[in-house]
Amino acid sequence: MKKFLVILFLFSLNLYAGLKNEDCLSCHGVEGIEGETQRGKTLNLYVSPEALKGSAHEHLNCTDCHIGAKSFENVPHSDKPLELGCTICHEDVYESYIKKDVHGRAHKANNPMAPKCEGCHGGHDILPLSNPQSRVSRQNQPDTCGKCHGKEEINLQADIVKRNLITRYKSSVHWQAIEMGKPGATCTDCHGHHDILRSSEYGSKVSMVGILSTCMPCHPNEVRTFKEGAHARALTHGNLDVPTCTTCHGDHDMASLRLRKGDALQWSATQVCIWCHSNERMMARYGLDTTPVKSYLKDFHGLTQKGTFGAAATCADCHDAHHSLPASHPQSRMNISNRGTTCGRCHGEVSQTFALSFTHKTTMKKPGEKLEEIIK
């Protein structure tokens, strides 16, 4: 049986080999030629004689890619679109796409919205990745992916709950870097190429665990430091309540503190910590309380931070953004032996007494208790 299939395949190749591009263009090179898809939509079948010029497939024949017809003896040769033979040259890529990739699995399930090879790479005008005009070049990927993911109705049908993905990405520090001709992350850097998985799937590059390895190539020092901190240690033990890169920095609209306008982002950074550390139910699960948040918002640092949007210490200034550790840990910025250095970053050289004078905890049983004692 296998021998018969091989002979049949070779025979079909001979049929294709008998056709030249000029033969195909005698019909498809006539402007206005149309066909009808199986879903009843009109399909433009015109192909410009110059369509392949400059493309990655410039030296291929039409029938090198368009396969699947039983015979080309009769023209029109088929009432169905011919199958594209991308797998003949790109078998490994296709295997990954159809078996692993979220788009390929959707295509295999006959989802009409699922992009196929030509949906991302183009048809006759496929250009090498290195060509700035390529649909999948670094600067063009947001627009290519945006053909689908820039439409909210498609995102909803695909169970993607986040909104304005492309608009938000184009406000990010990553896109700003690309626009300036500098290295910056684009769609495939974070999500992958032909092996894209949902963030909830095991092995996804943007899952809570996977995002660390994804961010590592560009931010090695930050990721290594984070892995030594309390949050990452909890994550390695399966705790999904802890934050990872995108929890604090955002996913598509990352902002840069270096490029910030004013100091509003410093206050935003404080708010990120508050989201979790003011959640009494979450903190109770780990034997923590919300007193630090409440006291911070009422003390000099918190009030000044909120009132001036960044003129005072934030959570990260004292606890370290990526290397947050319990105060009992010898490397913690809040450890008694390190607190003088931590406070000294803003207050200059300080005494040990000064460094130990600040605490989030309060001994007052009611507001104003200390003031009442002074008045008495």
What are the structural domain ranges in the chain?
Answer: 2-84, 263-365
pLDDT of residue 11: 42
9, pLDDT greater than 50: no
Average pLDDT (221-248) is 93
The pTM (predicted TM-score) of the whole model is 0.81
Which range (33-37, 121-125, 222-226) has the least confidence? Answer: 33-37
The angle subtended at Cα 288 by Cα 286 and Cα 294, nearest 5°, is 145
Banded model confidence at residue 177, pLDDT cuts 50, 70, 90: very high
Task: Reply yes or no on whether the pLDDT at 3 is more than 50.
Answer: no
Whether residue 269 has pLDDT greater than 80: no
**pLDDT of res. 83:** 73
pLDDT of residue 332: 93
> Stretch 36-50: mean pLDDT, rounded?
82
Average pLDDT along the chain: 84
Q: Is the predicted pLDDT of residue 80 greater than 80, yes or no?
A: no
pLDDT at 6: 38
- Asked if the model's pLDDT at residue 263 lies above 70, the reply is no
Confidence band for 358, pLDDT divided at 50, 70 and 90 = confident
